[in-house]
Structures are given as C-alpha cells and as structure tokens.
Amino acid sequence: MPNQTNDVPRRKQALDKENSLRQRIWKLWLVIFAGVLTAAFTTSLAQADETADRQQSRAVIEAQLEAFKQGDAPKAFSYATPNIQTIFGDADTFMKMVRDGYDMVYRPASVRFVKFETDGMNALHAVQMIDHQKTLWNVYYLVEKRPDGTWKISSCEAEKAETDLI
C-alpha cells in the first residue's frame, strides 16, 4: 500500500507546476492581447489623422479653386504658403501667373480628386481636371501643414494626361 503522506507533497508540487504554467500562459495571453489592442488603437488613430488630413488639405484646394472662380485674388493667394507668397509678392501677380499658366486650375470645367498621400506634415493630392477645351490634365498639389495646424498649398504642377477624353 502506497504511503499517502509522501503522495500529498508530490501532488501539491505537480499542481503548483500546473498552476504556474497556467499563470504564465495567462500572462502571455494578456500581454499579446494588450499588444493587439494597442496596435489596433494606434492604427485607428493614424487612420483618423489621415482622414482629417485628407479632408482639411482638400478643403484648402477646393477653397482656392472657388476663389479663382470668384476672381478673388487675395483669398486665392491666402491659401498659398508664405514661401509662395514671398516668391510672387502680391495677390495680383499670383493671380496673373495662375490665369496665364494654369488655365485648367484657374477655371476648370471639372475636378476629380483621385489620390492622396500624407506623412502628417505634407500631403499630396493627385487631381484630374478638365479644362474648357475638354483637355484632361493631371494636377498634383503639394500641401503643407503649418505650425498652427492649418494647411497651405506649397506647389501645384500640371501635366496633360496621356489619354484623350471620349
């Protein structure tokens, strides 16, 4: 007949090992779960920031296009970065440059935002515009986030699209 007094410590030791293993597994699971939650939350915040950046920077471009449409040179000029403002000096000179060199931006017949990228401080909007001669243009806006949190247009480049409109 086995000695029951010797079996009790062995069973207790086995149970302690089993509980210790369960505790380690439980702790590991909690750490993994916390990591997944943190990653999901961080991704969610980054996506929320990107969505806000997209909306705010696009609104600046649309506001400038509206100012061009209204012929409001000071307002259109106000959406440019200080560097661009320094280069052109005043709103009338800026408006003349846009009117003479960027007709598709000055008075577009159609505007469609097609692509957006950001690093949080700069944003690139790829926009398709159709001018009044029915020419399709790819227009690339670089928009800069200023220290006060506002977005300003730092450059605009246009190229005639390789495809024709049907």
Q: Residue by residue, what is the 3-state secondary structure of 101-123?
A: HCHHHHCCCEEEEEEEEECCCEE
Q: What is the pLDDT of residues 79-123, one digit of tens each?
A: 999 999 999 999 999 999 999 999 999 999 999 999 999 988 999
Alpha carbons 112 and 130: distance in angstroms, whole number: 9
Question: Of 47, 61, 51, whose CA–CA distance to 126 is shortest?
Answer: 61
Q: What is the pLDDT of residues 1-34, one digit of tens each?
A: 555 555 656 666 665 666 676 777 767 666 676 6
Q: What is the pLDDT of residues 49-70, one digit of tens each?
A: 778 899 999 999 999 999 999 9
Q: What is the pLDDT of residues 135-144, one digit of tens each?
A: 999 999 999 9
Q: What is the pLDDT of residue 46?
A: 45
